[in-house]
A and B are shown apart, each in its own frame.
Chain A
Amino acid sequence: MKLEQAAVRDDFASTWRYQPLPNFYDEMLGADGSVRPHWRPLIEALNSIGPAGLGARWQEGRRLLHDNGVTYNVYGDPRSTDRPWPLDPIPLVIDENEWAAIAAAIRQRAALLNAMLADFYGTQRMMRNGIFPPELVFRHPGFLRPCANVPVPRGIYLHNYSADLARSPDGRWWVIADRTQAPSGAGYALENRLVSQRVMPDVFRAMQVHRLADYFQFNRELLRSLVPHHHDNPRVVLLTPGPYNETYFEHALLARYLGYTLVEGADLTVRGKAVFLKTLGGLLPVDLIMRRQDDGFCDPLELRGDSVLGVPGLVQAVRMGNVAVTNALGSGLIESAAPAAFLPTVCQHLLGEELKMPTVATWWCGEEEQLAYVVDNLARLVIKRTFQGPNVQPVFGAKISDPARQKLAAEIRRSPSDFVAQEQVALSTLPVWQDDRLAPRHLVLRVFVAAREDSYEVMPGGLTRMTSSLDSLVASMQHGGGSKDTWVLSSGPTAQTTLLTAPSISLEVSRATFDLPSRVADNLFWLGRNVERVEATVRISRAILTRLYHESDPASFAGIAAGMRILLALGHLAPRPTKATNGASKEARDAALEREMLAMIYDTDGKSELGATLRQLRRLAWLLRDRFSADAWRSINRFDQKFAAPSRVEALRMGGALNLLDDAIVTLSAFGGFAMESMTRGHGWRFLDIGRRLERALLMVDTVHNGLSVRAIDQNAELQTLLEIADSALTYRSRYLTSMQAGLVLDLLLLDEANPRSVAFQLARLVEHVEELPAREVSSRKSAEWKIVTKMLTALQIVDAAELVRSDESGKWSNLETLLATIGNGLRTLSETIARHYFDHSLASRQMSL
């Protein structure tokens, strides 16, 4: 046995080159350098995989994260709204017995904090009796007076609670922060699990790791039991501040995973004392709001008048018992560090128990002795603001200069109640995978609690976050730390719960038709339009680039010119001074054209229309990520990143650009396929498809209008290019062999209802769609949209291709021009009409006070 241990140790040290730090607790290695018993199975597995094997597996893990688009937002980072989620392959392993103690302590803490909130918002007995300083409540901006004495179903304020834990060198766990109003991270923990389980399925199974799915199941059951009405099929929404929030990815993930509708404040409205979701099908009652928005922002009427977010009248609806909100409005009150200084007493008082897990030593300067201690010991304390949220950066006494410390001490003496000091825990370390070896990092473990009807359920696992470097003791995604999965070991086999295996589970099926917020319909419509816009640009660019390659072909020039005219008309290329190009040699002209095309495709100057369209596409896809299956999202996310990050070397070569364009076509088709095959045929799908059809028809009109020059010497080359851009060359050849005739080409591109690329085909689909749109008023008459589309379709149906290519006195094909203008204008009117009727959700709200 001894020998075996030593072998594991030596083997391990030489293979992975892991050096823990002295004076810190290491999660994996004991003080004597031996692997702790509960880590042994993992280390043995890692040893047999080896660094190279782990590297290979981890590439797969990163690909999964990348493809799933797992991101978080960094505030104040103008470069992007989201960053890839940093996950490390080595999990934090926690022994079953140790976990049982942690879980018991966290359950107790959840019950305690809940009881405190009930007291503060109810009788305030603790303050009256001198157990808890009233100043910490009365001065706290998170003490929402309108929420006092508001009934809370089952007395539950904290439906979800999370705590950040740290381990000190003596091996004890401490609570270092509480999250009580809208705790984030459970979704990321879930995503981490999905990835780590995929990358190390063998190890995961062999180690009997506790599963996370039950936690979400319990959470869902509780929410169902809280709703005031409609118990059988309650409508639960997840309220997000929006896509620019730090953890929007998680909001979308949880909404999809739990089967809730993801909404923003503007999607909800209070009517007659109850809350409703504004959908295309009208107002639908909402039974429960799971909020991820800070409570002060939830109701501009009663909470913060300066906030435009939120739902006016929400507090009143809660007060009337018509809607439940989780966590209860006002629960942010105890997120501050200061209450921790009083928890041991409060715990005795409220629960009659000892506090099971201590909070890191905390001093609230509002009390005289504590103030004296803090001022004398500033250099070894972390200083926080009493009445600011947990996201404000604390000051580390050790890291500031003497004068700065003196200044801080003076500031604290001036308004002592505004400051809290905490001891800095010497955070434990654990290995992270870095540069083909394992290196130590400090960690903080976030654990999650969900309330049940009469108890609290702790998620067996959690989100382990690391500091960004060894000198830093701040574990924060905002500051560039990484994250890990957390494996809680079980002594028996763990049950398989199916919920986990289906991250994209959608419970929308039965309601998809009705629950579509009009804001989402708007976004889907524009997503459809932008997808088509990108596809058309890609096809036109490809036609041009291919022809630049085949310069020996004399017909290619007319094709290139046609393509350029279309791109110019669509705003992709700047108008070119004809003089300069006419004088130059063909080689110089081609080189200039090539440069221009590459600049456009890769958006090198950040000004290209394609770049802007791609950014818009990315934004919309991001806004809509909860609406798509994981597969559809992956396809579009992958696509977006290709253009976003071109290889520098490839960017210089035409071949690279052509490959990119070829790939892009495939990806766009894949996205179209997912949309066709996987989206339920509700209004969501319909608006996406309306956007696509409308844009495709419009682009075809523009393509024909600009691509065809009636008097061209080499009209065949133009027609050939048009067919290629319209992806209809094959159809044409199979029908007419190689004889190019303008009339036949126009018939195929404009009039042929059997060609899925033709304008007529798009209009026929649009007629079907607008017939299914929810009626704006009760009337048997046809809608304005129907009339517009039908008029256009009829115009196409009654025209003959031969008429279109008939020259008038001035030699122009005026019939064609008139038809194209009619259709173009009709499509633009249709777009405006739909927007006016269905997307009118953005009325600005205003304060009515004097």
Chain B
Amino acid sequence: MILRTTHTTTYKYSDTVAICHTEARLAPRSTREQTLLEHELLIEPQPSSLVSYTDYFGNSVTTLTIDEPHETLRIEAVSLVECHGLEAIHPALTPPWEQVASAVRRYTTDQTFEALQFTYESPRVRPAPGFADYARVSFTASRPLFEAALDLCHRIYTDFKYDREATTVTTPVEEALHSRRGVCQDFAHVMIACMRSLGLPARYVSGYLRTGGGSVGAHASHAWLSVFCPGFGWLDLDPTNDVIPSTRHVRLGWGRDYSDVPPVNGIALGGGTQTITVDVEVKPTRPLDA
């Protein structure tokens, strides 16, 4: 299946912006679940400089500077991604979660060492007492890791209400836990915090969800999480929709939490008040011939 994604971010300012520096993490990553075929950034006005580099987590980042005065900035990312999906794993076959925690704590392999840094708190996922209590209900003694994770994912999906008004990007994750409300980003952060409270690695995934089918989170950028399981690698979970992401999800990149991978992030000089509109479209398509 090939998906064509179009992600448009428009900034409108009440005053002129003299200069802006922007980072875009808008190129889907090639992973075992998907292959990036094509990617293009269309920026208006023309940036005076455009550079790409790979960040600490391996995500491709484009940094751009616009130094002509402007009142509107439009960044459109168009990508073609081939989604393979993954063979379903049997949750019961994954090791007991305590074993995973201990393997990561001992970090004897490169994989566990890489996973280790996703067990610590991060700028948006601060530890708080409530997370471990909430998580323990699913993570009973010796329960297989992915089975417990799926259960936790299901409980978050059931207990939490998707509510655009409840939170903003700066709402602390603890507040989302208490109010049991939020958007996909909060759902992901809450579950990451739960995993980490037990010493288990979990990372934040930024991406898109294919439109249609009644899923929550389409038409905007989406977010979910991955949990690490030795021998299985990183396994995705989407608590907003209570699904294991497969061919309907497109992965842009990952980090410890949202702050490591905002799709667009920048500093503008001037501008007055700003209005941001984001539009995402994900549609199946056929590869372009030749």
Contacts and interface: CB of A to CB of B under 8 A. Distances in A.
Contact of B267 (A124, A134, A271, A848): A848
B65 A271 contact: yes
A9 B167 CA distance: 75
Contact of B22 (A138, A272, A843, A848): A848
A849 B262 contact: yes
A269 B270 CA distance: 14
B169 A850 contact: yes
B21 A846 contact: no
Interface in B113-150: 113, 116-117, 120-121
B67 interface: yes
A300 interface: yes
B266 A848 contact: yes
Given A134-B113, A139-B120, A316 B63 contact: yes
A95 interface: no
Given A128-B113, A312-B21, A313-B63, A850 B55 contact: no
Given A146-B56, A302-B23, A846 B120 contact: no
A166 B20 CA distance: 48
Interface string A822-850: 00000000000000000000011111111
Contacts of A301: 21, 23, 63, 265-267
Nearest to A300: B267
A849 B266 contact: yes
B264 A849 contact: yes
By secondary structure, the A interface counts as loop
Nearest to A273: B49
B257 to A, nearest CB: 12
Contacts of B117: 134, 138
A586 interface: no
A376 interface: no
Contact of A849 (B56, B121, B169): B169
B51 interface: yes
Contacts of B270: 843-845
Interface residues of B, number: 39
Nearest to B123: A141
Contacts of A134: 107, 113, 116-117
A134 B55 CA distance: 19
A764 interface: no
B18 interface: yes
Contacts of B63: 301, 313, 316
Q: Which of A128, A145, A305, A846 has the most CB of B within 10 A?
A: A846
Counting contact residues on chain A (CB < 8 A from B), the size range is 20 to 34
Contacts of A849: 169, 262, 264-266
A273 B266 contact: no
Nearest to A313: B21
Nearest to B23: A301
A623 B57 CA distance: 42
Which interface residue of A271, A312, A847 has the most chain B CB atoms within 10 A? A312
Nearest to A302: B23
B271 A320 contact: no
Contacts, number: 95
A767 interface: no
A845 B265 CA distance: 13
B19 interface: yes
Interface in B268-286: 268-271, 274, 276, 278
A272 to B, nearest CB: 5
B20 A127 contact: no
A146 B49 CA distance: 19
B260 interface: yes
Interface in B3-39: 11, 18-23
Given A138-B117, A139-B121, A843-B269, A848 B274 contact: yes
Contact of B116 (A138, A305, A844): A138
A808 interface: no
Contact of A145 (B11, B260, B266): B260
B110 A845 contact: no
A454 interface: no
Given A128-B110, A134-B107, A138-B116, A848 B268 contact: yes
Contacts of B264: 848-850
A845 B65 contact: no
A31 B18 CA distance: 69
B49 A135 contact: no
Contacts of B266: 301, 847-849
Contacts of A138: 116-117, 120
A143 to B, nearest CB: 9
A316 B64 CA distance: 10
B276 A850 contact: yes
17 contacts: A128-B107, A145-B55, A146-B55, A269-B19, A273-B51, A301-B266, A305-B259, A305-B265, A313-B267, A316-B53, A319-B53, A843-B18, A845-B267, A846-B271, A848-B20, A849-B262, A849-B266
Given A138-B116, A301-B266, A849-B262, 17 more contacts: A135-B120, A139-B121, A269-B19, A271-B67, A272-B49, A273-B51, A301-B63, A316-B21, A843-B18, A845-B267, A845-B269, A846-B271, A846-B274, A848-B267, A849-B266, A850-B169, A850-B278
